[in-house]
Amino acid sequence: MPPLPAMPPLPLEPVNIGAAAKASGVSAKMIRHYESIGLVPSPGRTEAGYRTYAADDLHRLRFVKRARTLGFSIKQIEALLALWSDRRRSSAKVKALTEKHIADLEARIAEMLAMKQTLQHLAHQCHGDARPDCPIIAELAR
Amino acid sequence: MPPLPAMPPLPLEPVNIGAAAKASGVSAKMIRHYESIGLVPSPGRTEAGYRTYAADDLHRLRFVKRARTLGFSIKQIEALLALWSDRRRSSAKVKALTEKHIADLEARIAEMLAMKQTLQHLAHQCHGDARPDCPIIAELAR
DNA sequence: CTTGACATTGCCATGATGGTAAGGTTCAGA
DNA sequence: TCTGAACCTTACCATCATGGCAATGTCAAG
């Protein structure tokens, strides 16, 4: 499956938060959260106080969702949203932000690969039977 | 550098939390935290209420530190500590726990590699100049 | 005796998300 | 028309591992 799966068409009419969640892939809980931290603007409200999301809002939520799926942090998404709505943006800025994120990912991947290597090495040396001798424990207790 | 670097010899005399932090590589803050959640036992106290760590305590803290360095969660370390002090443990249990952790690592690594792949693909297509056209933004806004 | 380096507890923050509780609204069906 | 289900609201707590700060107490050296 592709990392950024296609989604069903957005509703044209303003919808409540539940439908917005379904349409965007962002949980209602997180939609409210994103609003509270200012990542997405406060949507309209019905007379009863229900949030109503127009096509624009849903579009933005989807953008956020896709960026999260690619592992961008909220702060980075803030920047990406600003660049998105800036018609005079330079693609260089977007690319730089993305490459920073790629570098972060690579660092974390390398760290975890190193852990994995060590662990596999240790696990390989471990009999894994009923006896207590265990190079894994021995290494931790070294 | 090796994932589990050798450490200086442990002090033989009981020490205060600052020296325990230096000797174990665990911050004083985290030592107190581990105590509060029961991961390590409450150490002795001086009359003034200062915690005093004996060689045994320091050994245990080092064990925790090494396990954290390998990415084990606190819950897993709890189990590892129990196995460590169980002379009738089966190495199979240690190995199983370790392999579970390896599998978790692999899953996270795979997820991040997928992100990285997609991002690199997009970044590669992006001019990265002063113009606003940007396939990265386009993909997010799709 | 003062000063500086240490120790104590307690609270708040991170990042992104989930849960739960206590209440109000809307709508469809009996 | 009533009622119940399914929705919505806010507000708080939890996760996981860690850091920071504040107010206060202790110890050792000058």
What is the nearest nucleotide to B28, using C1' and CA? C7
What mean pLDDT do residues A80-99 have? 95
Contact A51, A38 (CB under 8 A): no
Q: Is the model's pLDDT at B11 over the cut of 90?
A: no
Within 13 A of A108's CA, how many CA atoms are on the CB side? 16
pTM reported for the whole predicted model: 0.89
pLDDT at res. B24: 95
Which of A84, A94, A125, A127 would best serve as a mutation to test chain B binding (most B beta carbons within 10 A)?
A94
pLDDT in tens, B95-126: 999 999 999 999 999 999 999 999 999 999 99
Q: What is the DSSP string of B29-84?
A: HHHHHHHHTTSS---EE-TTS-EEB-HHHHHHHHHHHHHHHTT--HHHHHHHHHHH
Q: What's the pLDDT score for residue A6?
A: 72
pLDDT at residue B27 is higher than 60: yes
Query: Is B66 in contact with A118 (CB distance < 8 Å)?
Result: no
Looking at every residue in chain B, the average pLDDT score rounds to 93
Residue B5 has pLDDT above 90, yes or no: no
Q: Are B75 and B93 in contact (CB under 8 A)?
A: no
